[in-house]
Chains A and B, each alone.
Chain A
Amino acid sequence: GQNIDQPTEMTATEGAIVQINCTYQTSGFNGLFWYQQHAGEAPTFLSYNVLDGLEEKGRFSSFLSRSKGYSYLLLKELQMKDSASYLCAVRDGDYKLSFGAGTTVTVRA
């Protein structure tokens, strides 16, 4: 089966940096995704990593180490609107995604 772990909750201050870790054990690997989901809204795509290294997209960056089964999502210059749930998902070899339970990030003023 698939096992994807991420912290349940994190709290940070506006303007700060938060790093959300995701570890995975899957039968195969064909890409790792991060999604953002605000309460009552659709999950929206943030990033995709298939090779080792860092992908930067504005204030958000995502890192992947395939040998360690590890990824993180880095949120810089936090804003109140970044309060949301962040979902880590792994594509294990065909097209299907296995999701973690999500990390709820609360940004405080």
Chain B
Amino acid sequence: ETGVTQTPRHLVMGMTNKKSLKCEQHLGHNAMYWYKQSAKKPLELMFVYNFKEQTENNSVPSRFSPECPNSSHLFLHLHTLQPEDSALYLCASSQETSGSGANVLTFGAGSRLTVL
């Protein structure tokens, strides 16, 4: 496996369920990100981890809980979600959280979440 892999690709859950999204990167990167992509809206940054430490929580509701056990894996734990949380959740990685040089983000294909 290469690049950034996300599972599951599709998830349907009720508002009382608990589920988790998983992201794995095989690029040797040190920074990992969760973004939310809703139809016709800009990508919204949710969480950032750099060297396993959370460096950004972009005012995300507590019903979304991230976990980064090592630099290659990132999880997003979901509980008591609302229908408006239905969206594509994209994971990305980069060499580190740096504002110098290109420091390009590599994205996974996303997990399409539907909350009923």
Contacts and interface: CB of A to CB of B under 8 A. Distances in A.
Interface of A: 4, 8, 30-31, 33, 35, 40-45, 48, 87, 89, 91, 93-102
A42 B103 contact: no
Contacts of A48: 102, 104
What are the 9 closest A-B residue pairs judged by CB atoms, nearest first? A42-B107, A99-B43, A99-B42, A95-B97, A42-B109, A48-B102, A43-B107, A95-B99, A45-B104
Contacts of A8: 40
Interface residues of B, number: 24
A26 B108 CA distance: 27
Nearest to A49: B102
Interface in B1-49: 3-4, 31, 40-43, 45, 48
Given A42-B107, A45-B104, A95-B97, A100 B90 contact: no
A95 B3 CA distance: 21
B99 to A, nearest CB: 5
11 contacts: A30-B99, A40-B109, A42-B108, A42-B110, A43-B90, A43-B107, A45-B105, A95-B99, A96-B56, A97-B45, A101-B40
Greatest chain A CB density within 10 A among B45, B90, B103 is at B103
Interface in B43-65: 43, 45, 48, 56
A86 B110 CA distance: 17
A91 B99 contact: yes
Contacts of A87: 43
A42 B4 contact: yes
A101 B41 contact: yes
A97 B105 contact: yes
B40 A95 contact: no
B102 A94 contact: no
A43 to B, nearest CB: 5
Contacts of A98: 42
Contacts of A4: 42
A92 B95 CA distance: 18
